[in-house]
Copies of this chain bind each other. A is one copy, B any other.
Amino acid sequence: MAGNSRDPGRSVTARALSVLTAFDIDHTRLTLTAIARRAEIPLATAHRLVRELEMWGALERDGDGRYEIGLRLWEIGLLAPVNSRLREIALPYMQELCQSTHDNVHLAVRDGLEVVYVEKLTTPRAVPIISRSGGRLPLHSTGVGKVLLAHAPSAVMHQYCERGLPRYTAYTITEPGRLGRELQTVRSRGFAQANEEMTLGNCSVAVPVHDGGGTVVAALGVVAHSVRAEVSKLVKPLMPAAEGISQRLVEQDRINLDLLSH
């Protein structure tokens, strides 16, 4: 690899990708100058790369001449298994959950040491929350995060605790020993709870979603107002919904295996 570091191809691709990395949820529309600054590339290089990315459809220009992520990149991104398999299967179950609980419903996966929200459904009656599809939150202070951490390899838990457990509210668990015991409970009773540990006033409950091999691949959760949340009432509709999604994932894995063997 080291011998390749001066490979011009490598650096061009890396720079093209750095243009995309200049965009995030707080920077969805950028001028060319801002892209060059955020991507740390010369303006002339940024100009050339942006033009190519725009021609392909990875970037688009808005009415003010600023750049945004393009429709084509969004379309290609939807082919990622997290959307094309997981989200597509889970969506009808999430709609039903949202309809029956009138609360926020989340589907999330773990990426390294973070929760990534795959989808969030909400209703007018639901409590306002900070998550959004494609957004990231911590593993130790959210219901879905606790489920994902509880079922991750133990090395993940060690690595996560080594970085320290940031406090978000007075109720956030910041002591690794306590978190370890909590995750043990998550595994034994089959669901996780987070009581005002991320946001004061909000309570979340989450359960695991399995794939065909029995691996926990996602977490399904509900976030409600802590005052009106009754954990048992939230867990009740979550369990069959997660079971339904898991069942559909198993069926899909079987179809894929059949396709491969032919």
Contact = CB atoms under 8 A, between A and B. Distances in A.
A92 B12 contact: no
A214 to B, nearest CB: 14
A12 B10 CA distance: 9
Contacts of A79: 23-25, 28, 68-69, 134
Nearest to A118: B74
Interface string A12-44: 111011001101110010000000000000000
Residue from A9, A13, A124 with most neighbouring chain B CB atoms (10 Å): A13
Contacts of A9: 8, 12, 45, 48-49
A70 B79 CA distance: 9
A95 B91 CA distance: 11
A88 interface: yes
Contact of A122 (B69, B74, B92): B92
- Copies of chain A in the complex: 2
A76 B22 CA distance: 10
Nearest to A73: B77
Contact of A12 (B12, B88, B99): B12
Given A95-B121, A123-B95, A71 B82 contact: yes
Interface stretch (A51-59, A138-146, A172-180, A226-234): A51-59
A52 B14 contact: yes
Contact of A77 (B4, B49, B56, B78): B78
A155 interface: no
Interface of A: 4, 7-10, 12-14, 16-17, 20-21, 23-25, 28, 45, 48-49, 52-53, 56, 58, 60, 62, 64, 68-71, 73-84, 88, 91-92, 95, 98-99, 109, 111, 116, 121-124, 132-134, 260
